[in-house]
Amino acid sequence: WILLRDDGRGLDREKIISRARESGLLKGNPDTLTDRQVWSFIFKPGFSTRGDVTEMSGRGVGMDVVERMVNRVNGRIDIYTRHDRGTLFVLKIPLTLSLLEGMVIRVANDYFIIPTTDIRESIVYDESAEKSIFRGVNFIQLREEYIPVFTLNDILSYRKKRTISNARPLLVIMEHEREAIGLVVDEVIGNTTVVVKSVFDILGSIHGVSGCTVLGSGRVGLILDVKSIVGKFQKKLESESVASGS
């Protein structure tokens, strides 16, 4: 829980009811409303009981945003108030927020997160080394195994070019159900724990992306969906195999 308390005048039930009626939010008998129902009016966009507007208050902006963000994580807000004694806001945030252990990588100027459970290893990638090409896909030999190599262009139709620097790129070997692919990246930032946020409300469904997160730097990072990425390229290889008759 998050507790926020002030020592002000408290919420004025009658003033809130009056303003709700003026705003068209309340049309029935207010005597039938519980305190909780009355307090809920303060979360309506543009709602304020102040008669004057200042730089800090009176605009009715803020509480609706708080409620929307709390609702987004399936939380709730409880209000306890006493006249001339102040108000207590209790934000109940569930502990079941989706936390993810992941590796933060950088490609060009953008950041992505790969779940650590889907990472086998990361190695320095020698782009000039000899490769095998099979059905239009580059493969490298890693010990006794051939690994297909992809870039974000192949996965997300990502159009930015990788950073040109003296540092050699890295290859992150991702694995799902014993099927592995290598992703070429500019830099491995490190491992971290992130809170997974839905990306679908903002960008819609994106193949290869399971969500997003806000990193400690304030940058937004997309979380890669290794299962769908590996599955996509397995299907690609299988379909080309059928088409070629091999």
Nearest to 102 by CA among 231, 215, 227: 215
- What gap in Å lies between CA 38 and CA 78, rounded to an integer? 12
Strand partners, 2: 91
Tell me which architecture the domain covering 99-244 has in CATH: Beta Barrel (2.40)
From-to residues of CATH 2.40.50.180 in the chain: 99-244
> What is the C-alpha separation between 114 and 105, in angstroms, rounded?
8
Q: Please name which of 129, 184, 127 lies closest in space to residue 161, comparing C-alpha atoms.
A: 184
CATH 3.30.565.10 range(s) for the chain read 2-92
Nearest to 113 by CA among 27, 199, 196: 196
d(CA 78, CA 234): 50
**Residue 189 pLDDT:** 94
Give me the residues paired with residue 149 across strands: 138, 182
* pLDDT at res. 93: 75
Instruction: Give the per-residue pLDDT at 134.
Output: 72
Q: 234 near 241, Cβ under 8 Å?
A: no
Q: Would you say 80 and 90 are in contact if contact means Cβ atoms under 8 Å apart? A: yes
Give the pLDDT of the chain (246 residues) as one tens digit per residue: 789 999 888 999 999 999 998 888 888 888 888 888 889 899 888 888 776 555 555 455 678 888 888 877 667 888 999 988 899 999 887 655 678 899 999 998 899 999 998 999 999 988 777 677 777 788 888 888 889 998 888 777 666 666 656 578 899 999 887 788 999 999 999 999 998 887 766 566 677 888 889 998 989 999 999 988 888 777 776 666 545 555
Calpha distance 39→13 (Å, rounded): 8
Taking Cα atoms as reference points, which of 99, 122, 210, 104 lies closest to residue 174?
122
83-87: list long-range contacts, CB under 8 Å, 24+ apart.
83/9, 83/10, 83/12, 84/9, 84/10, 85/7, 85/10, 86/5, 86/6, 86/7, 86/8, 86/9, 86/10, 87/5, 87/6, 87/8, 87/10, 87/11
- The CATH number of 2-92 is 3.30.565.10
CA angle 158, 160, 164 (to 5 degrees): 135
**Whole-prediction pTM:** 0.58
